Structure 1
């Protein structure tokens, strides 16, 4: 189930729907409840600007993250688990790290892992865009980073902020949510530690580069949408649009323009046999030959067939 508040999707799930929403939000994970009661599971999740914050309660279970980004539209984000109640442990890269109440673990879900919730748990999960952290921090996450609120003041602050944000989520507009999300990113950056010699790059510039790379690799998909891109980048739809603001483009305009550029290049190389124009159009994600022809003429002031003839002459 999902509902919208201030154009920010809030998603919820209970019981049998819990595992399905977990795969939607966290990627290609597999949950094993064994003999535990799935019906005791519940989840509430919301976007905080570039971040996603999720609160879940569940009976004991194991999460297998073997190929989290197996599909092109799976989310690609660094993950933080804050243990509000219960005991868990995470195994990754040959290392085993316990996660007790009031402690947290930060890890890179691209690397295979097993999260064992050995008791009923209440957890807060924060997904932050990979580009929000410096490369040195990403490299440190070859193994999970852990901290405990009893010994780490930053962990205590983050725990308090995440808890209070979930209670107030219904009263925060999009701007305030984004501000809270950025504060959480800053806290995580501080906790993991940064190399002062590393030049800080605008996160939106990094996001834009990753989006363009993703679009280029999936340009032939007719289902390539802004929502899919946002999920794959681990950010909100609004941040995908923000990444293109400096170029004064919308993501949709960029996608269709890239398709037309590639179509023009393919038409220049195409032979004269029947069906070639339609094959190129459908191969680049256009829904019909008529749609392709209209868009091509609007972009290049000639029809696809005229363009091909000019290239062959």
Structure 2
């Protein structure tokens, strides 16, 4: 059944095709002898972008006149395969859509998407005007990123995947920020931007930004380790360490430094009641008051209670 909850739309089974037409325009889905009831879709707006996750049995998508009506969405589309095999035929060319690879295309131009197996896919729609005219012109046929852009593709896949997992917890500002980042990544891959607003050619810079945001939101977790971060970012532990090389410190150093900075700021505003220091310690992910006290003393040369008294005197 189809449903809408807090800017998130979803559909399963026989409602799948109807929601697909609402989101993607005047398309036709042919499941033939496959089981349409295995289909499910979740979709949400991220600022100007729409991000969709779907899984379905084998089927064919015919996009002959996607923008036939005035209310049909007119957007550049990106498809990222996470499971299964598919191929996109457009402009006389066929682009394979293989696992963990992406294809960018202009659905205003007729196309056929053949999902020859059961598939799981992430789909991104971004406004046509978000890309430079020269880049849109190059989408007369499907665009497949060059091997030199593999790092950027992995970052985009990780960002799309993690955004879908956290979509219910992203406020409006974060959704806009994530959508803007996705647009900039696609612009960088497709090219044609004579005056880019901000260069993000190095995927490690984007990864570092995402890690810091994740750490900021999860600082209270005692189990906030490099392994946890790598799993959430969808990359290796080594890649997380590489992202922090520009900072000249390790990920763990960054986490503990941030915790101590927050602790110092909170102690500055502390009221001095019994147990307050312990509350601050546990709220910032320290395993015990003793652990907090040792780390604080090593950093600031005084225990938390001594430091607070000195500030009040």
Give the match for residue 33 of structure 2. 35
Aligned mates of 2:193, 2:145 — CA distance in 1: 19
Structure 1 range deviating more: 191-200 or 44-53 = 191-200
- Residue from 130, 144, 147 that aligns with 1:146: 144
The 5-angstrom pairing of residues 172-183 of structure 1 reads: 172-183=170-181
The 5-angstrom pairing of residues 21-60 of structure 1 reads: 21-60=19-58
| Residue 96, structure 1, aligned to residue 97, structure 2 | no
Per the normalisation by structure 1, the TM-score is 0.61
Aligned mates of 1:59, 1:151 — CA distance in 2: 30
The C-alpha deviation readout for 1:264-311, integer Å capped at 9, x for no partner, is xxxxxxxxxxxxxxxxxxxxxxxxxxxxxxxxxxxxxxxxxxxxxxxx
Measure how far apart 1:103 and its partner are.
0.3
Per the normalisation by structure 2, the TM-score is 0.61
Give the match for residue 10 of structure 1. 8
Q: 1:34 to 1:102 in 2, by over 3 A?
A: same
Measure how far apart 1:2 and its partner are.
3.1
Give the match for residue 256 of structure 1. none
The secondary structure found in structure 1 opposite 2:145 is strand
The 5-angstrom pairing of residues 152-167 of structure 1 reads: 152-167=150-165
The C-alpha deviation readout for 1:90-138, integer Å capped at 9, x for no partner, is 0000001111000011000000000000110000000000000000100
Give the number of the structure whose alpha-carbon radius of gyration is greater.
2
Give the match for residue 106 of structure 1. 104
| 8 A contact 1:16–1:38 mirrored in 2 | yes
Measure how far apart 1:3 and its partner are.
2.8
Q: Count how many residue pairs are aligned between Structure 1 and Structure 2.
A: 197
The secondary structure found in structure 1 opposite 2:140 is coil
Unaligned runs of at least 5 residues, structure 1: 201-313
- Residue from 189, 192, 199 that aligns with 1:191: 189
The C-alpha deviation readout for 1:151-204, integer Å capped at 9, x for no partner, is 61111110010000000001101110010000000000001112427999xxxx
| 8 A contact 1:59–1:120 mirrored in 2 | yes
Measure how far apart 1:52 and its partner are.
0.3
Aligned mates of 1:105, 1:195 — CA distance in 2: 19
Aligned mates of 1:106, 1:97 — CA distance in 2: 10
Measure how far apart 1:149 and its partner are.
8.0
Aligned mates of 1:49, 1:57 — CA distance in 2: 24
Give the match for residue 131 of structure 1. 129
Aligned mates of 1:150, 1:168 — CA distance in 2: 29
| 8 A contact 1:150–1:156 mirrored in 2 | no
Q: 1:163 to 1:148 in 2, by over 3 A?
A: farther
Q: For CA contacts below 8 A with separation 6 or more, give which structure has more relative contact order.
A: 1
Aligned mates of 1:184, 1:196 — CA distance in 2: 18
Aligned mates of 1:180, 1:38 — CA distance in 2: 32
Give me the CA root mean square deviation: 1.9
Q: 1:146 to 1:72 in 2, by over 3 A?
A: same
| 8 A contact 1:93–1:143 mirrored in 2 | yes
The 5-angstrom pairing of residues 181-220 of structure 1 reads: 181-196=179-194
The secondary structure found in structure 1 opposite 2:78 is strand
Give the match for residue 263 of structure 2. none
| 8 A contact 1:149–1:156 mirrored in 2 | no
